[in-house]
A and B are shown apart, each in its own frame.
Chain A
Amino acid sequence: MGSSRHLGGGGPHCGIYSYMLYKENPLYRLAEHIYLGIAFAITAVVAVQNTNRIAITPLLRGQVVFIIPILLGLGMYTVFAEEYRWISRYSIAMLVGVMIGVVTSGTLIPNIVNQITSTITAPDGSSMMDWFNFLYVGIGTICALSYFLFTREHKGILAPTARIGRLIVMIGLGVMFGNTVLFRMSMLSGRIEYLLQVLKIIPM
């Protein structure tokens, strides 16, 4: 049972990766359809279970207040019927309003105040590296911001700062790209490891 389960996983793996080597092919399409079907099925089941656990079960136990989120949730589906689409606006308005209210209250300190404070605060440590990091981040932030200053032409004092800013942004994007490559290779490594386990080349 265990080995057949793993072979059932290994087959679609090969199918998906066959796209890179042999473009669109029947094995890839089969694996793609199996994957999409399972992914949607899991998502649908979890969504229904979640709704049942959080709202429907308490409602059936007598907590009538849960009728409000259930009705708002159902209201979302009226977006598909043109005649009743206006109902969905109440649901969307509630959703957007709650999220803005919740996020705005929490975002101010960590995302704005703390970031500015950490950028302009000199390091406690006296190591050269601390000071280098402080200056790099401080100067880099000012220069990168000046690069995105579009209301003035990048001439005079703005010319060198915008140029340095562009370099800083490119370094940042390079780091992000490097991290992305690391992430993708980790995923590929995980899949290859799984295939090696299925083939019993390395232990499960």
Chain B
Amino acid sequence: MSDQTIFDRLDKLDRRVYYWLIVIVITWPLISPIGLPITVKPSSRALYDGLTSVQEGDVVLIDIFMSVSTWPECMGGLVVETNTLIDQGAKLVYVGNSVDVSRSWERMKELVPRLETLEYGTDVVFLGYYTGEDAAAAQMAVDMSSIFPADHYGTPIEELPLMSEANSARDYAMVLFTAEGEVKWIQQWGEPYGIPVAGMGIAMKGSALAPYLASGDIFGLAVGVRGAAELEALAEMPGAATKTMDAISSTHLLFVILIILANLPIIYDKIKGGT
């Protein structure tokens, strides 16, 4: 036992110790925020600049493609987007491709109380869930009312004044995607009709979305909770994402330390002449 090196002991350590370590490192900054600095990437700035360039009365389509589990990643950014667009005087149309989109909508109304001050049907509409990906987006571009004969609450679409002036792609100034589902908007709205597309992707989608940003198919992009925190910094609205970033940065630092520790025995063995 005494012959064991520190590396041997670490190697044999119960994996649950590491799990608890991760939980502690995440929990601590949530209880007592550290306030680590947040640098803003050009892609997030481009998204924010696009939001602030929206003119009063422009209609913006926002696709909430996030489920409840994705709230920590994207809800903070969606709140900033909504607040910024309300400041600009934009009219907002929300749709969603996730079955629990109504729950996300309710949560957003809690986080953006100003949504309740807008006149429903004239300044803001929640059309609710849709299915069909590209086929649905293509049909929405031609005739929104065929996909949404009524809004989420069952109000016929012809009774919503906003929808009579925003029934096809050409009536919209911008499409914002949330979490996923960006390709259908690029393919069915951006390319054929020239509608600017941008939004927030979950972190896993960051690499997949980067080529669209480079080619100009999307004009801005915020990736993951970091992107949401960047938007919060740009809008000077520190919120949930900013707080979460402390926990995420601390955890990543722990991972880097653990990766180094895990590799040290291998390097140690090689130096000693082992295989």
Contact = CB atoms under 8 A, between A and B. Distances in A.
A102 to B, nearest CB: 5
Given A117-B215, A137-B214, A186-B225, A106 B206 contact: no
Contact of B129 (A46, A114, A118): A46
Nearest to B14: A21
A189 B248 contact: yes
A186 to B, nearest CB: 4
Nearest to A116: B215
Interface in B155-189: 183-184, 186-188
Interface string A12-54: 0000000011000000000000000000001100110110011
A197 B212 CA distance: 38
Contacts of A118: 211, 214-216
Given A179-B204, A187-B72, A43 B99 contact: yes
A29 to B, nearest CB: 19
A109 B191 contact: yes
Contacts, number: 137
Given A106-B187, A110-B187, A189 B212 contact: no
Contact of B31 (A46, A54, A196): A196
Chain B contact patch, size range: 35 or more
Interface in B209-236: 211-212, 214-217, 223-226
A103 interface: yes
Nearest to A193: B30
Do most interface residues of chain B lie in helix, strand or loop, or is the interface mixed? helix
Contacts of A183: 73, 202-204, 224
B224 A188 contact: no
Given A175-B207, A180-B203, A106 B30 contact: no
A99 interface: yes
Interface string A166-204: 000000100110011111011111101100100001100
A71 to B, nearest CB: 17
B30 A110 contact: no
Interface of B: 16, 19, 22-23, 26-27, 30-31, 69-73, 99-100, 129-131, 133-135, 138, 147, 149-150, 154, 183-184, 186-188, 190-192, 202-207, 211-212, 214-217, 223-226, 240, 244, 247-248, 251-252, 255
Given A110-B215, A189-B26, 4 more contacts: A54-B147, A181-B252, A190-B69, A190-B71
5 contacts: A102-B135, A109-B191, A182-B224, A182-B252, A190-B244
Interface of A: 20-21, 42-43, 46-47, 49-50, 53-54, 57-58, 98-99, 102-103, 105-107, 109-111, 114-115, 117-118, 137, 172, 175-176, 179-183, 185-190, 192-193, 196, 201-202
